[in-house]
Structure 1
């Protein structure tokens, strides 16, 4: 049957009306108000089954379908790339946590380790343990939790500031304790010294927890990104203040260790009978003190100096390159202050093997021993 031009145009108009009605029904059933209809004949993404233009004015009698071939839209899923620097910090935090958890367990389950020296070592281990956990949580918050939430950011940075500040101040407290054990050797093992140690530990933790709460109390750059330091959301001024405080602590530690060396050499000169033994012991002690100061300075000085001169506009790789050595200080601390102690070594051997090696010195070690 041959259709006239009028009938073809009528059928074509009827097809267009049906197509528009179907498109309106589809968009009204849940489509977005701002997106184009999936059945819109004017949409270039819609292809008709026979590849024919629905507005072709040809008078050829042809039957067309009203069902378009819809092309499925491809959705690109953005996957956040994990930085190798963040992986290194997370691994470092895990190592820090394991080391210091072991130190805390030994001190907790050994009743004889309750001297002022061990109280300070335990406080240092707790600070470093929290620092390690803070590094792990920072990795989790950055890649597994929405870091745009202010609470998450402030919690992470507050924990890291408190933990690392407590770690540095506990190292200073251990230095003070060693100095007092030599300067007041006769009265060091008194109840007064134990009380002073507890007061010092409480003061350290109250001060550090206050520093950690400052970003949550409004001392942050979340409202003004231009004032951020290299460690967001800490402001530039706060970062400079913390860095200058660290430099003062480091200078005080150097002064105290210098006084310790002077006292040790004076004691060596006064004991003429054991001159050779004391000279060797004193030389070894001075070498150990130098190693402690060099390790502490090498870990923290780059980050402190960079915090003073840099801001958030500097390349982030420089921040990582200075932060990673600073975190390594918490890896070294258990080795320097805990695992070298014969009493802690004895407890570790007893816990792991049930025996003590014959070459392990069981001589009581005082705080004057480095």
Structure 2
């Protein structure tokens, strides 16, 4: 009986046995072969590209202003120191936007995020504070016209610079020193890793500075109108000339303040009321116009200035056009 079973077993089709063994071998080999996973493709947010481009333009514009003021010994008056402070703050803001883009896609870590966001917060805070300092300086130059060029004005300017940069640096260091939402996502604002409390402080501070600037510009408008009226009486100008001169000065101030408000107010209000649950497109749509203010600042405060225009002409062509050397300062040049 056993011999019969052996014969029957040996009579099984040889091809069936080979197929079964081949299948077992292939299964074993496939189980031992490591699976190579393809790396996910890097997807770049178009909004981040636009912000990086905006940062590049900001840097290129403001580095020109910083170099002109730094290398020209004739531009050491308080007004130019404040314009240089504004240009330096905007330059750092532009660099911060570029560095943030690079780190976000090439070197992602909590440390780099905290440093870049802190740099952006500090630089934009210094930019807004420098705008307020320029407004204060313009008000003092008109209100105390006879004593403005004294040593006291220079000292006051340096005090303003120390205060505004000290405050801005402190605001920028808050995320690095631990005031961030990396450990608790529920406390995040629309700009990670800033907390909602940090966002509230920045927004309320900005609204306070804007209200102060608005009040100062109203006073400047009154002084400009009064000066233009006195000049018109002294030179026996026609009423039309007086009206044109005054309107030009008021229009300039309105453009300056209106541009500042249009750029910053939307993001400030959104930054104050929104949190991390809101769609990111709203953050980008309000933050981008705020960066445009740093693009416009050199045009309004630096390139319109006669002395800086002369310096640019000397660098560009080595000469100063007669239209610049003969132009007199008017009450509208505020």
- TM-score normalised according to structure 2 size: 0.89
Residue 89 of structure 1 is matched in structure 2 by 51
Matched, 1:303 2:263: no
1:220 counterpart = 2:180: yes
Q: Is the 8 A contact 1:103 1:338 kept in 2?
A: yes
Tell me the SS of whatever aligns to 1:106: helix
1:108 to 49, 67, 70: 70
Stretches of structure 1 lacking an aligned partner (at least 5 in a row) = 16-49, 57-63
Task: Provide Cα deviations, 1:280-312, integer angstroms capped at 9, x if missing partner.
Answer: 332211101000111000000000010111100
Q: What's the offset of the Cα at 1:264? A: 1.2
CA–CA distance in 2 between the matches of 1:249 and 1:243? 10
5 Å matches for 1:315-330?
Answer: 315-330=279-294
Cα offsets for 1:219-273 (capped at 9, x unmatched): 1111100010000111011101111111111111111000001111122233303
Residues 366/159 of structure 1: CA separation in 2 closer, same or farther (3 Å cut): farther
Structure 1 residue matching 2:322: 3-state secondary structure: coil
Give the match for residue 318 of structure 2: 354
Aligned ranges 1:193-342 → 2 under 5 Å: 193-271=153-231, 272-274=233-235, 275-276=237-238, 277-342=241-306
Pairs within 5 Å for 1:143-222: 143-146=105-108, 149-222=109-182
SS at match of 2:234: coil
Give the Cα separation in 2 of the matches to 1:241 and 1:132. 23
In structure 2, distance between residues paired with 1:268 and 1:67: 95
Number of residue equivalences: 321
Comparing 236-245 with 166-175, greater Cα deviation is found at 236-245
Match of 1:47 in 2: none
Could you say what the CA RMSD is over the residues aligned between the two structures, in angstroms?
2.7
SS in 2 for 1:359: helix
User: Greater RCO between the two (CA within 8 Å, min separation 6)?
Assistant: 2
TM-score of the aligned structures, taking structure 1 as reference length = 0.81
Structure 1 residue 315, shift from structure 2 partner: 0.2
Report which stretch shifted further, 296-305 or 272-281: 272-281
- 8 Å contact kept, 1:93–1:134: yes
Residues 111 and 177 of structure 1: is their aligned pair in 2 closer, same or farther, counting only changes over 3 Å? same
Preserved CA contact (<8 Å) 1:137 1:156: yes
Cα pair 1:182 1:368 within 8 Å, conserved: no
**Counterparts of 1:168 and 1:233, CA distance in 2:** 22
In terms of Rg, which structure is larger? 1
CA offset at residue 357 of structure 1? Answer: 2.2
Structure 2 CA distance for partners of 1:75 and 1:344, relative to 1, 3 Å: same
* Mapping for residues 2-41 of structure 1, pairs under 5 Å: none
Q: CA–CA distance in 2 between the matches of 1:345 and 1:8?
A: 105
State whether structure 2 residue 86 is matched by structure 1 residue 124.
yes
What's the secondary structure of 1:185's corresponding residue?
A: coil
